[in-house]
Amino acid sequence: MSRLSNLYLIIYNSVSTVLWVSILTRSIKDIYEVLIVKDPTNYYLNHQLIHDEFPHKFLVYTQLFNSILELIHSLLGLVRSTIPTLIVQAAARSLITLGICYTIPTSPGNYNFIFFNTILWAWSLSDIIRYTFFVFKLIDNGKLCPRFLLWLRYSAFLILYPLGLISESATVYLSLSSVKNSPYYHYYFLIFGLSSYIPGFYFLYGHMLKQRKKVLGRSKSH
């Protein structure tokens, strides 16, 4: 990899880390206001369609930014990520961000405090760990990467992926009532997406389990 490509990827992964830290910080603030301050008013006002045409706009744009660029990175050979893995993950997240947040802004799934915050935590923690790991891996050929970060990269998914599966499925289910009077294809599109979560999860989870065995097994041998 050329120095220019390496520098670009360091900047990209660093920016992505900051974006997801911002999303997680916002979720922590929401949880604090609802559970600690006992004032859910700000949470619901912050996410109502007062100033924006759809909720969770920052999340939608961040995920779109990552999905498009990572597909381009793979096509250009800048990263080793496989196209099928990228497509499955992007499709699962896009069902929430574009299929619900953007397309069905009034869906109750967008405003469910428990399930949507669980999505934010599952996605944010996964990506903060992933992008931070990539930054360290790109610097000095990964020699500076902390061992605990390597372990997190290939272990955190064991909990975060199932959390994402449950919360994303619940959000889609809660959105079905909002499209019953819409064109029939939208309702069945969500049904198809909901039914695809299990095979998609099986594919991504199995892929990460193989990677975990390969990387952590090799790490132990050293």
pLDDT in tens, 61-117: 999 999 999 999 999 999 988 899 999 999 999 999 999 999 999 899 999 999 999
The catalytically annotated residue of 12, 43, 70, 168 is 168
Q: Tell me the pLDDT tens digit for each residue of 20-71.
A: 999 999 999 988 888 887 766 656 555 655 546 888 999 999 999 999 999 9
φ/ψ of residue 65, rounded to 5: -60, -50
DSSP per residue, the chain = --HHHHHHHHHHHHHHHHHHHHHHHHHHHHHIIIIIS--THHHHHHHSSSSSSSSSHHHHHHHHHHHHHHHHHHHHTSS---HHHHHHHHHHHHHHIIIIIIT-TT-GGGG-HHHHHHHHHHHHHHHHHHHHHHHHHHGGGGTT--HHHHHHHTTTHHHHHHHHHHHHHHHHHHHGGGGTTS-HHHHHHHHHHHHHHHHHHHHHHHHHHHHHHHHHHHHHH-
Kindly list the domain boundaries of the chain, sorted by start residue: 3-221
Q: Tell me the pLDDT tens digit for each residue of 6-20.
A: 999 999 999 999 999
**Does the annotation count 202 as an active-site position?**
no
Tokens of 72: 């381009």
Give pTM, 2 decimals.
0.92
**Does the annotation count 168 as an active-site position?**
yes
Q: What are the angstrom distances between the C-alpha of 168 and each of 38, 108, 165, 194?
A: 26, 13, 5, 9
User: What is the chain's alpha carbon radius of gyration, rounded to the nearest angstrom?
Assistant: 18
The catalytically annotated residue of 8, 161, 173, 187 is 161
